[in-house]
Structure 1
Amino acid sequence: MLVLCWIVLLALAMFWFRDLEQHRQNPNADLASLTVDHQPVQLKRNAYGHFVAPGDIDGHAVTFLVDTGATYVSLSRNLADALKLEPGPEVTFTTANGRVSGHLTTLDSVTLGGLRSRHVPGSIHDGFDDDTVLLGMSFLGRYDIRIRGDEMVVAPATR
């Protein structure tokens, strides 16, 4: 009986630590349920210093890594194939990890919280985690962005 009690306690601790680590990785995981259409999106920085959030590309759920230094919304070749995206012209990109080749594409829609943009330029290339999409300036540049401390606010442009 004592062994069974320890097993149950260890299982509960394992689930608790798993949930804690998931929250550290993506404190914005519940973003979709907390937002209203066309309203500012508030993101919290994760434990590793990044802004990570759930989103949507062409009706498919994705995880965004917000990257104000990226020109395009960039995704892996495998994810692009799953989304049935047509690769456009082949180009070479200069990234923090060096030069990589890939293809330009156009995303029908990109959604972050209650913010949606249509016909967003994107890029497809190898070397990306299939589960993570860089949310670059081809989307973010359509909005006002403010970063203060551990919070980023992406709001409809007031121009």
Structure 2
Amino acid sequence: MNKLFGIVFLAVVSFSYPTTQILAQSECFMQGNDGRNIDLSRLCGDGQNNTQTKPRNPNFFSLPIKRRIGGTPTVDVTFNGKHRYEMLFDTGASSTVITADMAEAMGVKKEREIAARTAGGIVTAYLGRITSLESGNLAQKNLVIGISDHMDGLGLLGQDFFGNYDVTIKKDEIVLRPRSASKK
């Protein structure tokens, strides 16, 4: 049985942007007004996909949606440069939370016990530390994340990863744009 705690959804406002060129990692495409991607890789250089390459356009990041579970998008997340898991993109989760099985497989130690407030009530959880977390072409380093013995299946990718960005959830991708200081 899949027990998911802490899933609270916030309304995400989607804006219609004029045709924009998107350069993510070594991918090169243009997104038309209809939301479809147009491949421009033959115009953008060597066409090699090097996942270590920083995005050429720092004005936004793109996380491909793998699938949806009950309408909630899932994305692939890489921990510590080598452990890849599908996770729920949870706009209502303040922290990224992994299952106890995921923590064990990655060697993430439970450093501190906490009482976590979730949609299902207050539960015991733990804090652990990871050196890196990456999804799409966005990466964060040295994060403290939650570890839950009460979750099975997928973990939650939370606000500690994308909270400094304006979020647009599209059909096939999640676009993150850094908030400008003037909008705070």
- The aligned counterpart of 1:115 is 138
Instruction: Give the letter aligned to residue 57 of structure 1.
Output: F
Question: Is 1:153 equivalent to 2:163 in the alignment?
Answer: no
CA contact under 8 A between 2:62 and 2:173: conserved in structure 1?
Answer: no
CA contact under 8 A between 2:125 and 2:147: conserved in structure 1?
Answer: yes
Question: Is 1:48 equivalent to 2:66 in the alignment?
Answer: no
Q: Is there any run of 5+ residues in structure 1 with no aligned partner, and where?
A: 1-33
CA contact under 8 A between 2:132 and 2:140: conserved in structure 1?
Answer: yes
* Structure 1 Cα separation of the partners of residues 177 and 161 of structure 2: 12
Residue by residue over 1:32-56, the C-alpha shift from the partner in whole angstroms, topping out at 9 and shown as x without a partner, is: xx95243521545726211111121
Instruction: Give the letter aligned to residue 40 of structure 1.
Output: F
Q: Is there any run of 5+ residues in structure 2 with no aligned partner, and where?
A: 1-22, 26-53
Instruction: Give the letter aligned to residue 73 of structure 2.
Output: F
Matches within 5 A, 1:5-154: 35-36=24-25, 37-38=54-55, 40-44=61-65, 46=68, 48-58=70-80, 59-130=82-153, 132-147=154-169, 152-154=174-176
CA contact under 8 A between 1:68 and 1:137: conserved in structure 2?
Answer: yes
Instruction: Give the match's secondary structure for 1:46.
Output: strand
Instruction: Give the match's secondary structure for 1:78.
Output: helix
Moved more, 77-86 or 137-146: 137-146
* Structure 1 Cα separation of the partners of residues 147 and 69 of structure 2: 28
Structure number with bigger Rg: 1
CA contact under 8 A between 1:43 and 1:151: conserved in structure 2?
Answer: yes
Q: Cα RMSD over matched residues?
A: 2.5
CA contact under 8 A between 1:90 and 1:101: conserved in structure 2?
Answer: yes
Instruction: Give the letter aligned to residue 134 of structure 1.
Output: L
Larger proportion of helix: 1
- Post-superposition offset of 1:114: 1.1
CA contact under 8 A between 1:43 and 1:51: conserved in structure 2?
Answer: no
Instruction: Give the letter aligned to residue 113 of structure 1.
Output: G
Sequence identity percentage: 28
CA contact under 8 A between 1:108 and 1:118: conserved in structure 2?
Answer: yes
Q: Give the number of aligned pairs.
A: 125
Judged with a 3 Å threshold, the aligned counterparts in structure 2 of structure 1 residues 157 and 62 are, in CA distance, closer, same or farther, namely farther
* Structure 2 Cα separation of the partners of residues 114 and 62 of structure 1: 16
Q: TM-score, normalised by structure 2?
A: 0.59
